[in-house]
Structure 1
């Protein structure tokens, strides 16, 4: 059979005169779509066998027809990005889809979306990057999205060359963590009220990522053994498994973290499934934007403490543990890294 189902559509695959022709067509998996693509495959065969370009012209965007009759690629970057996105998004997390969509809609589509795939040149990207006020990290992320679109087009033989391979990565500035001092931690915790006090104390003394903090459930906590099982990551209200196997872990709880949980256990918040609940709505958090904007930032301003993002609580925990002489491999495991390479690179100055 020359037509086969694949994720997101069908593949037409046949050989004539020792030449293989292959094309992926996005379509729903139903009888009507299958019949339409089978009929399309028969027309392809007829056009190629008869060398009839008149028949072939009915499918100007077909990769098979372009290959058989050496016609120019008619896909624009925007048109092919839609194909790539439909076919690949099933394998992506919610945050990946959001990140790719933002980079594409903000930078790729308005600058090059109208161009034919074959019209784009690496110098166009470099010219754009030289003028836009973006961090090297954001430029590299945009480059990655564009590159993936072209890799798919090249692998599908829609284009003969991939110009994005000529775009070099931009050098990213490495920023050292700026952890909080013990005095700053004490002042912040003292200033906050329940349950914000417990949330940030737990963050300071576990080093959990934001999504891991928001996703923590009472069933994941063992106060008797003083451990927590990190099994869930909550991103924009969507519960996901942690991204890497190293992130699925059991951590040892610092006494300060245990005290936070005990305080919450004695409160009305213990009746909820999640450990940390929004006291204003009495529902679980979807993200930490409100915490940062309306609790964290005003507290630092009031205490005249230089502003750092809440994520610096994680950096504070790592530097604190290393300063106390904890084994870097133990710290790496606590923080969800598979080895201590990231610890060495990021927190090297706190390791004796």
Structure 2
């Protein structure tokens, strides 16, 4: 069997392994840090114990035997849903960046309404999208299931809730004319960001991927760029810090530079640029903040140029839509977009794929 070793999970320690076809992943040391030598040595000892138990047939699938502080049933009955939620989340040993995402937003909703244990109205009456409703229902349903297993709830009130019907949203990519107007607008009103917007339009990469692009990812000899990292916001930070990580889907893709894109990047590249230097920055050389860029520049340019507002993410829809219209094979479009397969392209852009013309009918 493969040796079990502690891995760095954004600073925390994770043990990942499989037993009998079932995958396990947990933090054996609550609040333990990978760069702390004592924590790491303790985790290595726990990993060895797990491996020995697997080989001897004494593996504990609950993992309680291997936790520095085993999970336990709360000694007191939670008084409301917020207390129940906090107890459940604490039992999961989640990394901070995970808790700072969907778990944080669900907690905010619960704290705002302060519902009783069996009250579901805080969720059913919430003004949120069907997609968000589905995601948050999934989490609170898991919390209720756990509470039932621990004897904290008799029944799970969220089992009977159904996801909201999601109506398809029409994707409105920028037309060739709109692209021209947007680029002209940036050249006049925010010329520093003109190359950044041109890159987004031409490649369709996610905004965090463009923000995180390094000169080491650009190969002028092969005439290609490698999209393998992103620079999204650090959800555990102050709202402005960012953390370098793999792309959203974990894929690495090589995009061939068009002549126009190659010329653009050559004109941008400083003579002393190092491989670890960002390609796109603010005028002061700082990391681009996507929200600040949208609010201060993107909104202004679209309004000035008379273009109906769409998010900067529409540049991604634009590249994909134009690629489909230009008859690039669907598998190729999925690759350019960084998807693992064609399912997302077909789901969101299926109406554009192999769209036939109306037959010739003699009507006059």
Question: Fold match, TM over 0.5?
Answer: yes
- Identify the residue that residue 107 of structure 2 maps to in structure 1: 104
1:129-150 per-position Cα deviation (integer Å, ceiling 9, x unaligned)? 34x4333233333323322322
Shift of 1:88: 3.5
Look up the match of 1:179.
Answer: 173
Q: What RMSD in Å do the two structures reach over aligned CA positions? A: 3.3
SS at match of 1:228: strand
Cα distance in 1 between the residues matched to 2:271 and 2:312: 24
Q: Does 1:282 align with 2:297?
A: no
Alpha-carbon spacing, 1:156–1:299, altered in 2? closer, same or farther (3 Å): same
Decide whether the 8 Å contact of 2:171 with 2:317 is kept in 1.
yes
Give the one of 287, 301, 304 matched to 1:302.
304
- Distance of 1:318 and 1:299 partners within structure 2: 23
C-alpha spacing 1:351/1:92, structure 2 compared with 1 (3 Å):
farther
1:161 to 155, 163, 166: 155
181-190 or 159-168, which deviates more: 159-168
Is 2:241 the counterpart of 1:244?
no
Assess if the C-alpha contact under 8 Å between 1:147 and 1:165 holds in 2.
Answer: yes
1:129 aligns with 2:127: no
How much has 1:178 moved relative to structure 2?
Answer: 0.5
Q: Separation in 2 of the partners of 1:320 and 1:85?
A: 44
Pairing of 1:1-352 with structure 2 (within 5 A): 6-8=28-30, 29=68, 63=73, 73-74=77-78, 76-88=80-92, 90-91=94-95, 93=97, 97-105=100-108, 107-113=109-115, 115=116, 119-122=117-120, 124=121, 129-130=124-125, 132-156=126-150, 158-193=152-187, 194-236=191-233, 237-245=242-250, 247-265=251-269, 273-279=277-283, 281-285=284-288, 287-352=289-354
| Cα gap change, 1:64 to 1:322, in 2 (>3 Å) | closer
Whether the aligned pair in 2 keeps the contact of 1:104 and 1:142 (CA below 8 Å) is no
CA distance in structure 2 between the aligned counterparts of 1:162 and 1:229, rounded to whole angstroms: 47
1:76 shift after superposition: 3.4
1:216-235 Cα shifts (integer Å, max 9, x gaps):
11111112222221221211
Structure-1-length-normalised TM-score: 0.71
Q: For 1:316, what is the secondary structure of its paired residue?
A: helix
Following the alignment from structure 1 to structure 2, what is the Cα–Cα distance between the partners of residues 164 and 317? 40
Q: Which structure has more helix as a fraction of its residues?
A: 1
- Higher radius of gyration, 1 or 2: 1
Residues 263 and 203 of structure 1: CA distance in aligned 2, closer, same or farther (over 3 Å): same
In structure 2, distance between residues paired with 1:64 and 1:188: 57
Q: CA deviation at 1:272?
A: 6.9
